[in-house]
Amino acid sequence: MSALMQACDEYLALRRAMGFKLRRPGRMLPDLVAHLESVGLEAITTSAALEWAMRPAEHPQECAARLSIARGFARYLRALDGISEVPPTDLLPSGRRRLSPHLYSDQDIAALMAATTTIYSPFRAATHRTLIGLLAVTGMRIGEAIALDQGDVDFVAGCLTVRAGKWGAARELPLHDTTRDALGEYRQLRDRRWPTPKSLAFFVSMRGTRLLSGHVREAFRDLRQHAGLTAAPGDRAPRIHDIRHSFAVATLIDWYRADADVAALLPRLSSYLGHAAPEATYYYLQATPDLLALAAERLQRIEERS
């Protein structure tokens, strides 16, 4: 193994130890190292990184993303060798803007769950219907939900344990009785179909194995189409991850309507969602008309009392 490839492995290992999953960098950085070695370089240069990032037929935004990945590795290398060049941040402007998430209404979620009747297999339909319902009432990440094991759902205590959270942190989520009952119905259906489990997973595929994220997202796109959920002009299509955004915003709206101390409760929402700090939760709080109206009404009452 070359010194450059060894440095690449060590960089990825270090970042992953800090909690970063680095799926794309893990695939792309070895390719960058191979490119550098093919042109006889033992360190990163701006021109070589730019040449690697600007592959033919790549979209400009993708080129900028590739260069950003190279930039992080270059900073690490420069601290080691003192000669690697760190490409400037404005060399390939990405032109990216944050697209607003789709905020699902209760009717949207009901339509998605109803659309599962179009799935040819009753068991597969039940799997996706229960999964969507769980995401809607807990705000879990899709990866956390499909990583649940059977023992992670405590039907007696009425809670579930998320063990595959971001940064590796586990957390417990209380379940409403209706959610516990829906999970219990799915458990009975699953156990009848697979009396001898092939997997410890709570949600299983038609083959009895743990669900794959890519397959779940593909099924969700079909359900979204059957439910008639489309993107507004200029927005991206509704995603399964947007259910998490919807949960966060709906929670705030409920707190405002209950005249609760939102600022004091926000750390609880942050912990519930599995965020390290409330700052990370702000990303999910889309300014909807309902939320803005409630916040403005709260502010007006405060000003009237002062």
Predicted pLDDT of residue 294? 62
Predicted pLDDT of residue 298? 63
Q: How confident is the model at residue 59 (pLDDT cuts 50, 70, 90)?
A: confident
The whole-angstrom separation of Cα 168 and Cα 173 is 16
Predicted pLDDT of residue 271? 84
Strand 153-154 relative to strand 159-162, pairing: antiparallel
Residue 116 parent element (H or E)? none
Predicted pLDDT of residue 17? 67
Q: Are the C-beta atoms of 58 and 38 separated by less than 8 Å? A: no
- Predicted TM-score (pTM) of the model is 0.67
DSSP 3-state assignment of 294? helix
The whole-angstrom separation of Cα 120 and Cα 67 is 44
Q: Which residues are catalytic?
A: 141, 166, 241, 244, 275, 284
* Token representation of residue 108: 């949207």
pLDDT in tens, 92-150: 766 555 567 888 999 999 999 999 999 999 999 999 999 999 999 999 999 999 999 99
- Residue for token digits 């003192």? 82
Q: Are the C-beta atoms of 101 and 239 separated by less than 8 Å? A: yes
Residue 18 parent element (H or E)? none
- Residue for token digits 């990163």? 44
Residue 152 or 260, more confident:
152
The whole-angstrom separation of Cα 242 and Cα 221 is 13
Q: Which of 12-21, 65-74, 268-277, 289-298 has the highest mean pLDDT?
A: 65-74
Query: If we measure between CA atoms, which residue out of 203, 180, 181 comes closest to residue 190?
Result: 203
The whole-angstrom separation of Cα 192 and Cα 218 is 26
Mean model confidence pLDDT for the chain: 86
Q: How confident is the model at residue 54 (pLDDT cuts 50, 70, 90)?
A: confident
